[in-house]
Amino acid sequence: MTGQTYDRYLAVPRSGSGPGVLVLHAWWGLNDFIRDVCDRLAQAGFVALAPDLFAGKTADTPEAAENLVTHLNEVEVVPPIVFAAVDELINHPAVTGNRLGTVGFSFGGYWALWLASQKPEEIRAVSIFYSTGEGDFHRSKAAFQGHFAETDPFESEEGIRGLEEALKEANRPVTFYHYPGTGHWFFEKDRQEAYHSGAAQLAWDRTIAFLHEHLDGQP
């Protein structure tokens, strides 16, 4: 365990145990939507932990969220928090096995991709929502799943294809989905201007199936 202290939200299944899943929030911060994601993961049988990367700060508008990220020294602040969260999950008495999944949204998706290469033994399933990132994935031992909008000013088709090609070149299992009629934030029910209920439910079903496939039954 590291000595890092941080705020977080933890949800445990009613059964009392299950595989661990790290949830990395978008630039809105650790808000009610992310807590609900953790609760839904717990209902599906996972121990879900969402670390707070913004020290309690949240935002409701894109302008405020951008301001949070702009004033955050990501390189110094985020890694120790994420590493501490991984350590907590791995050592939590409710977590079964020693392999974790991670689900990342936008800003958090970037860090989920980064984490897969930094913690190859621990991170074995990565599901990202409307997010890309660059890096060397050859050290990773994870399977990857991506959920992308049809129209997204924050993520280019070139960037999505580039990430998919990088993962395939590193011989990582990867499946990317594109959801017609959607835009950025289509999964987030609290973003009514973007939320797409049908696509959100399909993406959720795929995420849960993916996590069970790669995390269930581990020693």
CATH at residue 22: 3.40.50.1820
Task: Please report whether residue 54 resides in a domain.
Answer: yes
pLDDT value, residue 217: 81
pLDDT value, residue 134: 81
Task: Please report whether residue 3 resides in a domain.
Answer: no
Task: Please report whether residue 119 resides in a domain.
Answer: yes
pLDDT value, residue 1: 32
Count of domains observed in the chain: 1
Q: Which residues of 199-210 are buried (b: 16+ CB within 10 A; e: fewer)?
A: bbeebbeebbeb
Task: Please report whether residue 2 resides in a domain.
Answer: no
CB 21 within 8 A of CB 51: no
pLDDT value, residue 5: 55
pLDDT value, residue 61: 94
Task: Please report whether residue 1 resides in a domain.
Answer: no
Residue 157 burial class via C-beta count within 10 angstroms: exposed 0-12, middle 13-18, buried 19 and up: exposed
Task: Please report whether residue 190 resides in a domain.
Answer: yes
pLDDT value, residue 219: 62
Task: Please report whether residue 51 resides in a domain.
Answer: yes
**Strand pairing partners for 50?**
9
The tens place of each residue's pLDDT in the chain, 219 residues long, gives 334 557 999 999 999 999 999 999 999 999 999 999 999 999 999 999 999 999 999 999 999 999 999 999 998 999 999 999 999 999 999 999 999 999 999 999 999 999 999 999 999 999 999 999 888 899 999 999 999 999 999 999 999 999 999 999 999 999 999 999 999 999 999 999 999 999 999 999 999 999 999 999 876
Domain around 165: 8-215
pLDDT value, residue 135: 82
pLDDT value, residue 2: 38
Task: Please report whether residue 105 resides in a domain.
Answer: yes
What does the alpha-carbon distance between residue 217 and residue 158 come to, in Å, rounded to a whole number?
37
pTM, two decimals, is 0.95
